[in-house]
Amino acid sequence: MSKEIYIGRTHTIWGNQNGEVCFETEDGTVYTWNARDLYDDLPSLIAMTHIELKHEDKHKNELWVKLGKQIIKDHKS
């Protein structure tokens, strides 16, 4: 059974000098990744990050356009 963990923000990131990369979240939880696995996953992580940012930007733009149309409609009333 998989466990889902959401990481909203990281607080600190560091290397352990033993092939691991650690990062601490705002709540003090420390996560440790194998450095090689993290490095091998970077192309996919970067690609997915770009896709998600584009999706987020498109969604925000659609909300602004909708708001602008509503303001114009309200102003004409």
Give, for all 77 residues of the chain, the pLDDT tens digit.
899 988 989 999 999 899 999 999 999 999 999 999 999 999 999 999 999 999 999 999 999 999 999 999 998 87
Distance CA(61)–CA(67), nearest Å, equals 10
Structural domains counted in the chain: 1
Question: C-alpha distances in angstroms, 75 versus 42, 69, 70?
Answer: 49, 10, 8
> In this structure, are residues 66 and 60 in contact, taking their beta carbons and an 8 Å threshold?
no
| DSSP bridge pairs for 20 | 34
Q: Is residue 49 in some structural domain?
A: yes
Q: 47 is in which domain, residue-wise?
A: 10-76
The three-state secondary structure class of 40 is: helix
Model pTM score: 0.68
